[in-house]
Structure 1
Amino acid sequence: MRYLPLTDADRSAMLETIGAPDIDALFVDVPAEAQLDGPIRGLPMHASELAVERHMGRLAKQNLAAGDAPFFLGAGAYRHHVPASVDHIIQRGEFLTAYTPYQPEIAQGTLQMLFEFQSQVARLYGCDVANASMYDGSTGCWEAISMARRITRKKRAILSSGLHPHYVSVIKTMARFTGDEIQYTAPVMDAAPDYAAMLDAIDDDTNCVVVQYPDILGRIGDLSAIAEKAQAHKALLIAVVTEPVALGAIKSPGEMGADIVVGEGQSIGVGLQFGGPYLGLFATRQKYVRQMPGRLCGETVDAEGQRGFVLTLSTREQHIRREKATSNICTNSGLCALAFSVHMTLLGEKGLRALAAENHRLACVAADALAAVPGVTVLNDAFFNEFTIQIDGDAREVVRDLADKNILAGVSLGRLYPDEADLAGGLLVAITETTSEDDINALAASLKEALA
């Protein structure tokens, strides 16, 4: 394809049509500190291909890979073992270019895969129906709030203090353009989630309550009372799951009355990948299916009575009138959804439960080991594979100290909540099946030395 640059006259005509004085006016919502004021610093204006390869190689060597050190990072992105067969299958020619099928009924393999994926997500979440995936957990969370607004025709959303702050940031950014009222306060360092305050806040003006499960501090609570009160006020309960492996061990949100369940699917089949691409999961009750964003694949029979798959619902702006669309989501994370489905199929229900049990066992070993370190207190009464510890002082300094020793100790709450001084001593520690007991002992020993 040839590159056809616009002329100055073309740009002027386009700006005049949309009523913008100049190109800079298109970026007024981007904070000034996030905008470049010139060429990217550190990169030469021109270089040979060989020189670029060498330069990028030197930069890459500065990274500490997750598999090269004791690794305890989590907070919404988790290191799990992905079988080699997952990568083999998703690279097959039938799947590798699994983009949106514009003649969907011809792409029976893609449709069948998405149908199986939807079935797996619906069962995992305890819901009636799931869509063919979203971009990631955070944008899926906002789509759920938008869906709740369409259903209830109310604009006040209550966010749990335990909701991931990055998800909160996405929600607040989007709400600036829709007029939604967002109620949120940062968490406090308590052993259990503060559901009492949320229950008190629910009233007839509430359109939805958003609760993370397990929450950002690793705490696990019963959502049933929140679901009951929300529904009594004609509001919806939205549950957010950032670690889907947990649902192999704990009750699903749908079983506790959640109306919409969303979250991140990265843990199953998708590696950390430097932060993306990831996979948004979205499921709901059958009665709300026509308000669900994204696409829905269904099963049918053809004219000869043979089993077949079709694109059943496609409430997106590319396929219908824009004002009728439930979302501007114009595709799904097809290849990541395939990886999720392949990994889930290889595990099966028994394998997922065994994987979850091993995650929790190792997390308990780690919690006991860290609780024995002088100056460390484990916050949680209940957790799955992630918990919060409290130390005296700023946990960010401890994380940096241990990183210099090639131990990635966890995510400091001071990093997630830089404006909350009361959380500075919190450190979020995640354990998965890839964590060895030697890794745990190394973390405990290094923490003891750092806090001495």
Structure 2
Amino acid sequence: MRYLPLSDTDRSEMLATIGAASVDDLFRDVPEEARLDGPIHGLPLHASELSVERQLTALARKNLPASDAPFFLGCGAYKHHIPASVDHLIQRGEFLTAYTPYQPEIAQGTLQVLFEFQSQVARLYGCEVANASMYDGSTACWEAIGMARRVTRKTKTLISSGLHPHYVGVCKTMAKFTGDTLETAAPTLTAETDVAGLADRIDGETSAVVVQYPDILGRVADLQPLADAAHAKGALLIVVVTEPVALGLLKSPGEMGADIVVGEGQSIGVGLNFGGPYVGLFACREKHIRQMPGRIAGETIDADGKRGFVLTLSTREQHIRREKATSNICTNSGLCALAFSIHMTLLGEKGLRQLAELNHARARLAADKLAAIPGVRLINDLFFNEFTLELPVEARPAVHRMVEAGVLGGVSLGRLYPGEAGLANGLVVAVTETATDEDIDALTKALTEAVK
């Protein structure tokens, strides 16, 4: 039986109230070519549970799992080894069933985990405070731009050409409804980032400058001069980190003057999972804490003098009046944040540094081998575990040829930047601790054949 909560009259009255002629008007921001004009092709209108299971299983078999092939994909989602203890611990009943801890007296375990998670993120990012997580890195990036607007009361944001294009896309989508002006550009296949150029473009109308570290091509830059230039004009520096393991070796953004640091936490504790769920990280300077979105778990003392934890400064619309909310985010990625915190605790500071060193060593080995292939050029010699190659042929077909050889050999820039002719031959390769010598040799062989 279908559930029809609204009559035609109810629906007409609701549409008239919001000024829409039809339900279809509610989807006008979805491109015409992306809308369905009928049932999904290839799927029956109805089927038994057994039939659906078989069909979906057949579709799943077409995937090439990351664990079944030499894997060198990155660009914001990275394959790292996650200890089995992480999955075991997050499935304990007191964690798995815990949701929003509105009643602190019965949610001390959840609140303590969030407090420790915040402490780890703040330490990792080199900032004074962090919140209890966001949805993912891209939405955290947009929330940082919104936060900068509230702090500076200005609406122009300069976005580095090295910011992940998916992050840029999310920010552009949201800016349509806020009046923010975003100045963006596509990257170029050069060893240097656009940090110096960004600094020259900052003016008195600039709210914030957004830069990725390392950037989409894997390049690493000193951000202190950019921070100084931004602060001289009354703007904030927002740094986006898509690979948190990199901060085991690199100087933290906070140490280089960043005002807000955001990013993706997937690398630590969270698997690839075909793109989600992931966990957004968000930290800032303490003086801006009241403009930070999401929520914060704080430490306190109860009536008996014992250490305890509570939600504090929860400036989201579930807690305060909507017009005063800093964000419309209604929850956090609690389970993923728990996985992040457990994995980070197991690593410790020494373990994180060792993991980062291993990542860089593996990437350095692969980069040297791949750069020796005739016609292949390594564009950035300074990188962490991800670097960009310029191939003598278009990268996207080369990636497909490597897949046919059983190797997931990287992400083509032609896929990320369709229509940008100057990037068509660019290939971004990520090498983590999971890549063996045999995997790197297989990649080298596959790419050698693919560029012929």
User: What TM-score, normalized by structure 1, do the two folds share?
Assistant: 0.98
Report the residue type matching 1:157 in the other structure.
T
Q: Is the 8 A contact 1:212 1:240 kept in 2?
A: yes
**C-alpha separation between the residues in 2 aligned to 1:375 and 1:396?**
16
- Partner-residue secondary structure (3-state), 1:177: coil
Tell whether 2:301 aligns with 1:286. Answer: no
**Following the alignment from structure 1 to structure 2, what is the Cα–Cα distance between the partners of residues 130 and 47?**
48
Displacement after TM superposition at 1:99 (Å): 2.0
- Matched with 1:125 is 125
Map of 1:196 onto structure 2: 196
Q: Residues 189-244 of structure 1, C-alpha deviation per residue, up to 9 Å, x if partnerless?
A: 11121212101101111100000000000000000000001011110000000000
The structural deviation recorded for 1:406 is: 1.4
Give the letter aligned to residue 117 of structure 1.
F
Which segments of structure 1 move beyond 4 Å, counting only runs of 4 or more? none
| Secondary structure of the structure 2 residue equivalent to 1:21 | coil
1:21 Cα deviation (Å)?
1.4
Quick one: distance in 2 between partners of 1:372 and 1:98?
52
For residues 350-365 of structure 1, the aligned pairs below 5 Å read: 350-365=350-365
Percent identity between matched residues is 71
The one-letter code sitting in structure 2 at the alignment partner of 1:251 is K
Q: Aligned partners of 1:332, 1:241: CA distance in 2, in Å?
A: 19
Instruction: State whether residues 72 and 429 of structure 1, in contact with CA within 8 Å, keep that contact through their aligned partners in structure 2.
Output: yes
Secondary structure at 2:332's aligned position in 1? coil
Deviates most, 26-35 or 99-108: 99-108
Cα RMSD after superposing both structures: 1.1
| Correspondences of 1:43-122 after superposition (within 5 Å) | 43-122=43-122
Unaligned runs of 5+ in 2: none
Q: Are residue 444 (structure 1) and residue 444 (structure 2) matched?
A: yes
Distance 2:121 2:272 in 1: 20
1:225 matched to 2:228 = no
CA distance in structure 2 between the partners assigned to 1:325 and 1:35 by the alignment = 33
Partner of 1:312: 312
- Aligned partners of 1:451, 1:219: CA distance in 2, in Å? 24
Matches of 2:104 and 2:237, distance apart in 1:
33
Whole-angstrom distance in 2 between the partners of 1:381 and 1:435: 20
**CA deviation after TM superposition for structure 1 residue 184, in Å:** 1.0
Q: Find the residue that maps to 1:305 and give its secondary structure.
A: coil
User: Once the two structures are superposed, what CA deviation does each residue of 1:286-342 show, in whole Å capped at 9, x if it has no partner?
Assistant: 000000000001000001000000111100011110000011111110000000000
**Greater shift in the superposed pair: 9-18 or 303-312:** 9-18
1:105 Cα deviation from its structure 2 partner: 4.0
1:172 paired residue number: 172
For residue 67 of structure 1, report the CA deviation from its aligned partner: 0.4
Alignment-derived partner of residue 249 in structure 1: 249
For residues 22 and 104 of structure 2, the distance between their equivalents in structure 1, rounded to whole angstroms, comes to 41
Match in the other structure for 1:389: 389
Contact kept, 8 Å, 1:73 with 1:408, in 2: the verdict is yes
2:418 corresponds in structure 1 to 418
Give the distance between the partners of 2:228 and 2:443, measured in 1 at CA.
Answer: 42
Taking the aligned partners of 1:72 and 1:5, their CA distance within structure 2 comes to 49
* Contact 1:160–1:184, Cα closer than 8 Å, also in 2: yes
Q: Which amino acid aligns with 1:97?
A: T
1:6, distance to aligned residue in structure 2 (A):
2.6
Equivalence for 1:298: 298
Query: What amino acid sits opposite 1:290 in the alignment?
Result: R
CA contact (8 A) 1:395 1:425 kept: yes
Counterparts of 1:59 and 1:190, CA distance in 2: 40
Q: Which residue of 2 aligns with 1:144?
A: 144
1:158 paired residue number: 158
**Alpha-carbon distance between aligned partners in 2 of 1:400 and 1:193, rounded to the nearest angstrom:** 29
SS of structure 2 residue aligned to 1:267: coil
- Give, in whole Å, the separation in 2 of the partners of 1:105 and 1:331: 20
Aligned equivalent of 1:29 = 29
For 2:18, the equivalent position in structure 1 comes to 18
Residues 138 and 170 in structure 2, CA contact (< 8 A), matched pair in contact too: yes
C-alpha separation in 1, matches of 2:224 and 2:296: 28
Retained in 2: the 8 A contact 1:137–1:262? yes
Say whether the 8 Å CA contact 2:224–2:257 is kept in structure 1: yes
The answer for the alignment partner of 1:373 in structure 2 is: 373
Instruction: Give the superposition deviation at 1:33.
Output: 1.1
Counterparts of 2:159 and 2:411, CA distance in 1: 22
1:29-84, CA deviations, whole angstroms, 9 ceiling, x for partnerless residues?
11111111111111001111111111111111100000000110000000001111
For 2:384, give the aligned amino acid: F
Aligned AA for 1:298?
Answer: G
2: distance between equivalents of 1:349 and 1:13? Answer: 59
Equivalent pairs counted in the alignment come to 451
Q: Is the 8 A contact 1:409 1:443 kept in 2?
A: yes
Unmatched tracts of structure 1, length 5 or more:
none
Q: Which amino acid aligns with 1:364?
A: R
Deviates more, 1:90-99 or 1:231-240: 90-99
In structure 2, C-alpha distance between the alignment counterparts of 1:8 and 1:58, rounded to whole Å: 40
Q: Deviations over 1:158-193 (max 9, x none)?
A: 000100000111111111111111111111111121
**Equivalent-residue separation in structure 1 for 2:128 and 2:353 (angstroms):** 21
Take 1:102 and 1:310, find their aligned partners in 2: how far apart are those partners?
Answer: 9
Alpha-carbon distance in 2 for matches of 1:187, 1:245: 23
**Post-superposition offset of 1:3:** 5.2
Cα distance in 2, alignment partners of residues 390 and 260 from structure 1: 33
Give how far 1:15 is off: 1.7
**Greater shift after overlay, 190-199 or 336-345?**
190-199
Which amino acid letter does the alignment assign opposite residue 288 of structure 2?
Y
Structure 1: how far apart are the matches of 2:153 and 2:70? 49
Conservation of the 8 A alpha-carbon contact between 2:393 and 2:451: no
Q: Which amino acid aligns with 1:385?
A: N
